[in-house]
A = this chain, B = another copy of it.
Amino acid sequence: KNLLDEATSVAKMSYGERAGMADSNMAKELLTLMESKQTNLSVAADVNTCAEVLQLAEAVGPHICLFKTHVDVLADFSLAFTLELQKIADKHRFLIFEDRKFADIGNTVAMQYGGGVYRIADWSHITNAHTVPGPGIIDGLAQVGKPKGRGLLLLGQMSSSGTLADGEYTKKTVEMAVARRDFCIGFICTSRLSEDPSMIHMTPGVQLEEGTDSLGQRYLTPEVVIGERTSDVIIVGRGIYKASDPAAAALQYKQRGWAGRDEAKKG
């Protein structure tokens, strides 16, 4: 609750104002895009084939700032698919965020990020990492991602029940991000954690109604996430990709997420 109160002033700034204050070019680019496209919606493409991912990206592209992938659930993944996805991203003007949740020591994550079958650093503007290995994980990823102009989100909090990302863990994560604000562009979190205007806060587990799934995921509404908890971006998965009309659902979430800004600005 303290963190929330302190954060009121940043929450009152526009994304565009904050773009001018960011260290990392990737943070600048995302904040600028959010302002011009008037959207703080990210869609999580938790579907199982490349065709479904591309179809979803095409449908929701006009309404989102960021498209979140889990390429390691795609049985038919190929680098050709990543080229197609980049074309759709350019056309509809959104960024790509591979939700890899890197979680190893620096030497290993550098190889996982730049290499392997997925070559994540080659096509994903943004990826994320857990801080449990310590700050070496950020240095390892930065060695690969910074020369390519990429950005990193740190997992400061999680939306799943019984998560150990809280208290001191969260506090230390914020310190690690701010110490590397040349590469760290923000957090995955359930509420605003930092007053630094360059730190972009993204919150998963968003649906139109609150609730819980059978494996411990807890859901919040766009109004709570943006308006009350003053996060910056809502990440919506099942509420959009399982909708009968994902484009219409995305538009609805976009409107509710953006309207949440008015509440946040009231403080």
Give A contacts to B, CB under 8 Å: 46, 48, 70-75, 77, 99, 101, 103-108, 110-112, 115-119, 130-137, 139-140, 155, 158-165, 168-169, 172-173, 213, 215-217
**A117, A140, A158, A213: which has the most chain B beta carbons within 10 Å?**
A117
Question: What residues of B have a CB within 8 angstroms of the CB of A216 in the complex?
Answer: 105-106, 133-136, 139
Q: Which of B72, B107, B165 contacts A118 (CB under 8 A)?
A: B72
Contact assessment for B133 and A70 in the assembled complex, using a CB-CB cutoff below 8 Å? no
Excluding A77-B116, A132-B163, 9 further A-B contacts by CB distance (< 8 Å) are A46-B108, A73-B112, A105-B158, A110-B215, A130-B130, A133-B160, A134-B161, A136-B215, A164-B173
Question: What residues of B have a CB within 8 angstroms of the CB of A215 in the complex?
Answer: 105-107, 110, 136, 139-140
The 3 closest A-B pairs by CB, nearest first: A134-B162, A106-B215, A136-B216
Contact assessment for B74 and A134 in the assembled complex, using a CB-CB cutoff below 8 Å? no
Roughly how many angstroms separate A110 CA and B214 CA in the complex, as a whole number?
13
Q: Which of B104, B130, B135, B163 contacts A162 (CB under 8 A)?
A: B135
Contact assessment for B158 and A132 in the assembled complex, using a CB-CB cutoff below 8 Å? yes
Contact assessment for A73 and B105 in the assembled complex, using a CB-CB cutoff below 8 Å? no
Contact assessment for A217 and B117 in the assembled complex, using a CB-CB cutoff below 8 Å? no
Question: What residues of B have a CB within 8 angstroms of the CB of A159 in the complex?
Answer: 105
Contact assessment for A160 and B105 in the assembled complex, using a CB-CB cutoff below 8 Å? yes
Contact assessment for A217 and B160 in the assembled complex, using a CB-CB cutoff below 8 Å? no
**A101, A103, A140, A215: which has the most chain B beta carbons within 10 Å?**
A215
Contact assessment for A72 and B130 in the assembled complex, using a CB-CB cutoff below 8 Å? no
